[in-house]
Every structure is written in structure tokens, then in C-alpha cells.
Amino acid sequence: MRTISIVIPAYNEEKNITPLIASIKEHFPHDRYQYELIFVDDGSKDATLTQIEEVAKHDEHVFYLELSRNFGHQNALKAGLDYATGDAVISMDCDMQHPPHLLNSLIEKWEEGYDIVYTRREENQSASFLKRKSGNAYYRIFNWLAEVNIEKGTADFRLMDRRVVDIFTQFNEDDLFIRGLVPWMGFKQAAIDYHPNERLSGKTKYSFRKMAVLAISGITSLSIRPLYAAIYLGLTISALALIATPFVILSFQPRHHIVFIWASLLLTIVFFGGLQLTVMGTIGLYIGKTFMQVKHRPTYIVRNSNLPDKH
């Protein structure tokens, strides 16, 4: 019988572990496949790990990877994928927002021959207005700037065939943005739409600030188009300045418009000061990313695990 791995990054999810495992067991197609559950404890500060260890003692299907500290959702997920052995690997969140009753639909699409089956969240009415609107705007900006298109509402709830996982595990990027890399990889992909549940317990780990960081790192990890934007912007403004030059010379009148000249000069300096800082910041960001990447540090560190040696 073929095996399906389910990878679940967990950060401070102590109350969600048991219900999630129960729900997965209820919905998994046991008649057709074996399964392994790999929890990645991403440096939780609560009893998440103890909870998992407790279940793993009596359940040969439950495994865990304990990371040495919090490495963030994307790195935790990568860790799980690296260690998964199944013929297909499903990744999902630990808070039941990704409904386990969809497991069978994901697997059925895979059986039809798709290599990647991803999910699209229908408009989440429970998310705050700000989170929804900013999410939509972000996908629009992202698709405009990045070289790949990500669809609205896609998150890290998907199935990947072994072939895809084997390629993905070779990636060693410092700032992973998995939901952008998946469309980038190509393969035969299919989508499933779903209604997200409410988070079962605890609160979201993605504050607005963390979302903003993920948003920027998403774009800059997949595309250098913002650098082109800087060049176009610079060229356009220089062209405008050239066109304006004759008008300025012609309008020169001694002893008049002193305040006007002074004010417009100040405005121009401030405007271009801001613009230059923005452009320099953008360039700096890419240099910073290069700096982090050339160190080739591991993107996560495993402190402990109950996975057998074949992993």
C-alpha cells in the first residue's frame, strides 16, 4: 500500500493537536493508503511538543521534528517536507482552518494524475476586514511584480507528488515563500476550493507586521522586477526634468518669485530625497538578501525527532 505523509507545522498549538489528529484519522482514506503524520514543532513555548510526544508514544503513525527554536512557518514546513517519505505529501496548518475532510478530495485529484493539488480559500468572512482587503491587494501587486502568478486565497494547504517534493527539497533558499515557488515549479496542477474553518484554539501567529514582512519577502524572493521599477522611475523623472528645463530658463525674472522659487526647490529636494532613499532601500534589500544567502546557513535546525533512521 502506498503511503501519504501529512506535514503539519505547529507553533504554540497545544490545544489543537489532539482534535486535529482525531479529525485526520476520521477523514483519511485508510482503506487505500497508509499514512504518516509529521508534526514540526517550531520552537513552541507551550505544551505543543509534550502533546505530540504523548500521542506518538501510542501511535506508530505520529512523528515529530522538534526544531531548536522558532524558525518561522515556511522553514518549519520545509523541514517537514525534507523528512517526509510518502508517495505524496500533504501540508496543512495545525489550527483546523484547513479542513481535514478535504484530504480525500486532494488524494482523488492526485489519483487522476495531477502532481500538485492546491487549495483555494473562498473569501474568509471571519478574517478582519483589513486582513482580507490587504490580502487581495497584495495578490494583485504580487502578480504584477513577480514573474509567477499566485491565485487569490491559496495558502500552504496542498498535496505534492513525490516527484515534486524531491525537487522542492533541493531548494535551499534563505527566505522561502512556498506559495510562490509552487506555481513557479510548474507540473500538472489542479485546484480545489474550500471554506476555511475558524481557528480552533489560540490566535493567529501572523500579525499585521509579520504579514507585511512575508509580503515583501514573497516578492523579493521571486523577482527582481522592483529593481527595474527603480530604473524606469529614474528615467521618467529625468526625462520630465529635461522637458521642464527650457520653461524654467524662459520664466526667469530677476527680483520676482523669490518665495516661490525657494519653496519649489525645497519641495523638489524633499521629493527626490525620499525617492532616492526608497530606491536605495530596495537595492539594499536585495544586497542584504544576497548577503544572507551566501552564508549558506541551514534554514532550520532539528533538535530532536522520533523519526526512524530511514528518514
Positions that interact with ligand UDP (CB under 6 A): 9-11, 13, 42, 70, 72-73, 76, 93-95, 97, 204-206
Q: Provide the minimum distance between the beta carbon of 73 and ligand UDP in the complex, in angstroms, as a whole number.
A: 4
**Residue 88 interacting entry, from Mg ion, ligand UDP, none, C-beta within 5 to 8 Å by type:** none
Q: Provide the minimum distance between the beta carbon of 203 and Mg ion in the complex, in angstroms, as a whole number.
A: 9
Cα angle 31-33-39, degrees, rounded to a multiple of 5: 125
Q: Provide the minimum distance between the beta carbon of 95 and Mg ion in the complex, in angstroms, as a whole number.
A: 4
User: What type of residue is 53?
Assistant: E
Task: Supply 206's cell numbers.
Answer: 501572523
Q: Provide the minimum distance between the beta carbon of 117 and ligand UDP in the complex, in angstroms, as a whole number.
A: 19
Q: Provide the minimum distance between the beta carbon of 175 and ligand UDP in the complex, in angstroms, as a whole number.
A: 14
Task: Supply 133's cell numbers.
Answer: 482587503
Q: Can you tell me which of 14, 42, 95, 115 binds Mg ion, judged by CB under 5 A?
A: 95
Task: Supply 248's cell numbers.
Answer: 524654467
Per DSSP, the three-state class of 302 is: strand
The Cα–Cα gap between 200 and 126 comes to: 13
Q: Provide the minimum distance between the beta carbon of 60 and ligand UDP in the complex, in angstroms, as a whole number.
A: 23
Query: Cβ closer to ligand UDP: 72 or 100?
Result: 72
Would you count residue 16 as binding Mg ion (CB under 5 A)? Answer: no
**Helix segments in the chain, DSSP class H:** 17-27, 48-58, 73-83, 103-111, 129-145, 162-168, 178-185, 208-222, 225-250, 258-294
Query: Cβ closer to ligand UDP: 72 or 183?
Result: 72
Query: Cβ closer to Mg ion: 97 or 220?
Result: 97
Stretch that binds Mg ion, among 96-104, 159-167, 268-276, 298-306 (CB under 5 A): 96-104
Cα angle 170-43-5, degrees, rounded to a multiple of 5: 45
Query: Cβ closer to Mg ion: 97 or 119?
Result: 97
Query: Cβ closer to ligand UDP: 77 or 230?
Result: 77
**Residue 36 interacting entry, from Mg ion, ligand UDP, none, C-beta within 5 to 8 Å by type:** none
Q: How many residues bind Mg ion (CB under 5 A)?
A: 3
**Residue 70 interacting entry, from Mg ion, ligand UDP, none, C-beta within 5 to 8 Å by type:** ligand UDP
Query: Given the C-alpha cell 496548518, which residue does it identify?
Result: 93
The Cα–Cα gap between 249 and 293 comes to: 50
**Nearest to 183, CA basis, from 216, 142, 141:** 142
| Cβ neighbours, 10 Å, residue 101 | 12
Q: Can you tell me which of 97, 119, 217, 220 binds Mg ion, judged by CB under 5 A?
A: 97
The Cα–Cα gap between 84 and 90 comes to: 10
The Cα–Cα gap between 224 and 13 comes to: 36
Stretch that binds Mg ion, among 93-101, 144-152, 243-251, 287-295 (CB under 5 A): 93-101
Query: Cβ closer to Mg ion: 96 or 230?
Result: 96
Question: For the purposes of burial, counting CB atoms within 10 Å of the CB of 113, is it exposed (0-12), middle (13-18) or buried (19 or more)?
Answer: exposed
Query: Which spans of this chain sit near Mg ion (rule: CB under 5 A)?
Result: 93, 95, 97
